Structure 1
Amino acid sequence: MRLPKRREHPTQRGRLLLKILFTLVAVLGVVGGVVISLEAGDAAGAGLSVAYAFIPLPLLWLAYWWLDRYEPEPRRYKIAAFIWGAVVAVAIALAVQIGVQLTFDLSDEQMASFIAPISEEPAKGLFLLLTFLRWRRIIDGFIDGLVVAGLVGVGFAFVENIGYYAASYLGSPDLKVAGADGATSTFIVRGIFSPFAHPLFLSAFGIAIGIAVMLRSRVLKILVLGAGMAVSIALHGLWNASLSYGGGAAFVLVYLVLGALLLGLGVMAVVVRVGQVRTLERSLSYVAERGWIHPAEIPYLSRFGHRKAARNHARANYGKVAGQVVTRYQRLATEMAFLHDAIMTGRAKPHGIERTYGLLDEMHSLRPALRLPPALTPLRPR
């Protein structure tokens, strides 16, 4: 038995074309990354620049994967977010900055403090805006906006860091060290002490997108999105200005402020994520009362420990495909439950009812092959 392909409800138009375009963009990004790394002057410097840029990626991906576990978005969108940040946003921002440099006589400090934030944050945020306008189901709340914004920021920082490490390796009159020592010094600052900088800047706009999804007024949506982008630009500008104009004391102060902001954002995300667990259990209980699922399934569809135990039980006793069936069933149930809760609480969802019944149909098509463990507690007669 082979697990059938997942079906979308409704089907997204132009999906194949988008996949081809983003694949081409990713290839161009790889070529561009190699070209940027070669600015280090030799193969050793180029390799070191790329290696240093890769080091923080597992931690950053793990953080956003953890946030996205309960209501995971399609993997292709998360990859596309990274690619957009690494390639498209970098290209847009670079084009704007080169144009400004050719038009106006601005210092490096002015470019970094004012032009960079104004060009880079909208270039990164454009992916979230286009996703919101094209396929609003991808970003439908605080966590979704935070995750997508974070991945775009991670992609942007990845390519930008290659350039910084290469420049540090090559050295300049302004830098006291060069070679491996120069690249390592820059890596300590950017890769160890501030890997979440770009994701943090764009988080304000990501949160704004998540809020705008739940608003009915178009005017309020525009105001919220504008405010979110303004905060993203301000955070980025504050960070760069502290480096350009503030000196050591100002940089440390801004670093501590942004660090506290990142910590507060993390705490808020955890609180919201805990709320997702309660929402999921509540919605699954309502769905069970309607007879769409069996009440004994709820623990195996909600709590992570029980979900994992259910997958392990299916794989150990019935084989690999049985484990895949349970995994698919859990994901379908999670998406259906959150969607059902949104509809029942009056939040507008594109094709909400159609998608809910489509997800239920897919769940029922898997039932003949579904192998869940025995009920955790005896069910009371009804």
Structure 2
Amino acid sequence: MPRATRPLQLPHRVPRTAGAVRTYVLVVLLGACGIAILELVREQTGTPGFFVGLGLALLPVAPLLAAFRWVGRAAPHPWAQLSFCFGWGACAAALIAILANSFATQWIAAATADPSDADQLGSVAIAPVVEESAKAAALLLVFLFRRRQFSGPSDGFVMAGFTATGFAFTENILYLGNAFDEDVENGTGVLDSVTAATFFVRGVMSPFAHPLFTVATGLGFGAAALAVRRTRRIGLPLLGLAAAMGLHALWNSSSDLGESGFYVVYGCVMVPVFGLLSWLAVWIRRRRLRAVAGELAAYADAGWLNPAEVPALASMPARSLARALARSTGGRPAGRAVALYEADAAALALLRHRARTGGPAREPDFAWRERELLRRLWLRRATAGPALSRAAVLEDLLPPWFDPLGPLDGPSAVGRVRGGLAPGPIPQGRLPRQVPAPRRSGPVPSAMTTGPP
């Protein structure tokens, strides 16, 4: 059959029975851990303290999740994966930590004469190791079973942040609930209450503490995803985990360094590290958007994308505007189609970027994955293409020499996007030309170099 008349087909989807079973097991496991940890916390805080702690602990959760979601918006993660990370931190990791810390503290207290030594040693030496290892388990599971979702440090940054935010949420319920119970017993007023002081320290001054520690582990896993040598794939996550444990231990020991110890560690360590990671988050986001723009240019030249879409896909304001434009004309289904188109385009760009910079060893299934993403883009292009092209014009992303009133066909066309006019429908059964395979030290097999099925 001639290539120009081949029908548009999606890649064959292989049944994923094993993946469905793993998902079911994880959901059941997290549900059981959630019920167990909530009951343990309620027993320690009492029912009134539990609900007060729950309400106060919820307050910093939304801003933290929004911040980490912002970092990953250049190539958004599936909500199911982020929900797993948050659930693991809030349920499984918290349950492991509370049981292991209690056992270790009791064992140390039985082996020493002074119980205060057990609390101090448990806080500085035991808790950081147990808690950071429990949180790192979520990243390890994603790294092993969803390696495709680990495309670089940005993914480790986001997933670590969601996991640690879930852990801090459960831990804050315990601390705030106990503080409220203490205030009830002592009849303390609101202004000088332990609950208010605890919330100020944990919810206002340092809500980023646990995420800051675990992000070090996430960056280690993200760097390992880009490594070719096995020693680096193993050593980099361990190095990140060791850094997380060290920061956690230093933070926990601040209360034992005298009256000013907390403020010294907070001002000299936590704030600078937080500033460094904030800068790193912005840099990672900008770097990803530059990669999206650079890699998608090859697909635009081949006709898979409208050239005006490329700057729009590399701009977060333009992406948001395109979704709004689609919703205004086609309703929520059109907005959803544009959002999926944007996510698939970003995934395609990063896939090609990894293959180009890392070679065949990094992306052994590049051809199949590229074909899958291109077909998904092709199916939604009639809806998403005009919206993105118009957003590029409205955001002034096109260079002055770019003619927005050019012809509607051809690989250099932008279409009539000014004044509400958009490119016409995509011809069915006719596919764009081939895309050159990305090259590094050797060729990477590309689905588009051999033509679609």
Deviation at 1:126, TM superposition (A): 1.1
Task: Describe the SS at the equivalent of 1:104.
Answer: helix
Partner of residue 357, structure 1:
371
Matches within 5 A, 1:230-249: 230-243=242-255, 245-249=256-260
1:53–1:161 contact (8 Å) kept in structure 2: yes
C-alpha offsets along residues 17-75 of structure 1, whole Å, 9 cap, x if unaligned?
A: 343334334433156325514533352x2221111110101111110111110111111
Q: Does 1:123 align with 2:128?
A: no
1:85–1:153 contact (8 Å) kept in structure 2: yes
Q: Does 1:69 align with 2:66?
A: no
TM normalised by structure 1 equals 0.89
Single out whichever of 321-330 and 372-381 deviates more from structure 2.
372-381
Matches within 5 A, 1:132-143: 132-143=143-154
Task: Describe the SS at the equivalent of 1:219.
Answer: helix
1:93–1:116 contact (8 Å) kept in structure 2: yes
Partner of residue 396, structure 2:
none
Matches within 5 A, 1:12-23: 14-23=18-27
Matches within 5 A, 1:216-235: 216-235=228-247
1:117–1:237 contact (8 Å) kept in structure 2: yes
Give the 3 Å change call, closer, same or farther, for CA 9–230 of structure 1 in structure 2. farther
Partner of residue 386, structure 2:
372
Q: CA RMSD in A?
A: 2.6
1:128–1:209 contact (8 Å) kept in structure 2: yes
Matches within 5 A, 1:269-288: 269-288=281-300
Q: Percent identity?
A: 31
Q: Does 1:51 align with 2:62?
A: no
Partner of residue 268, structure 1:
280
What amino acid is aligned across from residue 57 of structure 1 in structure 2?
V
Higher helix fraction: Structure 1 or Structure 2?
Answer: 1
Among residues 180, 190, 195, which one is paired with 2:207 in the alignment? 195
Matches within 5 A, 1:91-102: 91-102=95-106
Partner of residue 185, structure 1:
197
Partner of residue 155, structure 1:
166
Give the 3 Å change call, closer, same or farther, for CA 212–13 of structure 1 in structure 2. farther
Deviation at 1:137, TM superposition (A): 1.4
C-alpha offsets along residues 118-170 of structure 1, whole Å, 9 cap, x if unaligned?
A: 11111111111121122211122111111111111111111111111121122
Task: Describe the SS at the equivalent of 2:149.
Answer: coil
Deviation at 1:82, TM superposition (A): 0.6
Q: Does 1:80 align with 2:87?
A: no
Partner of residue 204, structure 1:
216
**How far apart are the structure 1 equivalents of 2:291 and 2:24?**
37
TM normalised by structure 2 equals 0.76
C-alpha offsets along residues 79-108 of structure 1, whole Å, 9 cap, x if unaligned?
A: 100111111111222232233234332521
2:348–2:370 contact (8 Å) kept in structure 1: yes
2:30–2:92 contact (8 Å) kept in structure 1: no
Number of residue pairs the alignment of both structures matches: 373
Among residues 89, 93, 116, which one is paired with 1:89 in the alignment? 93
Deviation at 1:368, TM superposition (A): 4.3
What amino acid is aligned across from residue 27 of structure 1 in structure 2?
G
What amino acid is aligned across from residue 309 of structure 2 in structure 1?
E
The unaligned stretches of length 5 or more in structure 1 are: 1-5
The unaligned stretches of length 5 or more in structure 2 are: 1-9, 110-116, 394-401, 413-453
Partner of residue 3, structure 1:
none
Task: Describe the SS at the equivalent of 1:80.
Answer: helix
2:36–2:95 contact (8 Å) kept in structure 1: no
Among residues 26, 36, 45, which one is paired with 1:40 in the alignment? 45
Q: Which has the larger radius of gyration?
A: 2
2:89–2:135 contact (8 Å) kept in structure 1: yes
